[in-house]
Structure 1
Amino acid sequence: MDQKQPLEFDRYTAADLNPDLLNRIMLLESEIRNETEKDVVLIAYEESQHNPT
């Protein structure tokens, strides 16, 4: 039987950040959006413990 190989993105999950850090990320998104006139989304990830490779 074939064993499923993990995809690269399976190694990471969304980072568990406190509300102050999330607010700082949103403020930085807004600053970048204002300077570039482009929609920007910053994403914080951390290595997953369930599927280390």
Structure 2
Amino acid sequence: MEDKQPLEFDRYTAADLSPDLLNRVMLLEEEIRNETAKDVVLIAYEESQHNPT
């Protein structure tokens, strides 16, 4: 069996945001959407603690 090499996205996990911060992100999405007339999704990540690299 081959040794599984970590993928680049394995280095990050979804950020654990407080409800207040999550609400602020959602408000910013809406603001950007209103100004650009485009659907926008902001994603918050943080470096993973299980990063083997």
TM-score scaled by structure 1? 0.93
Equivalent residue number for residue 12 of structure 1: 12
Give the Å deviation of 1:2.
1.8
Equivalent residue number for residue 36 of structure 2: 36
Q: Distance in 2 between matches of 1:50 and 1:21?
A: 24
Task: Tell me if 1:26 matches 2:48.
Answer: no
Unaligned runs of 5+ in 1: none
Question: Percent same amino acid among aligned pairs?
Answer: 89
- Return structure 1 stretches of 4+ with deviation > 3 angstroms: none
TM-score scaled by structure 2? 0.93
Change (3 A) 1:52 1:46: farther
Output the aligned Cα RMSD. 0.9
Give the Å deviation of 1:46.
0.3
Unaligned runs of 5+ in 2: none
Aligned length: 53
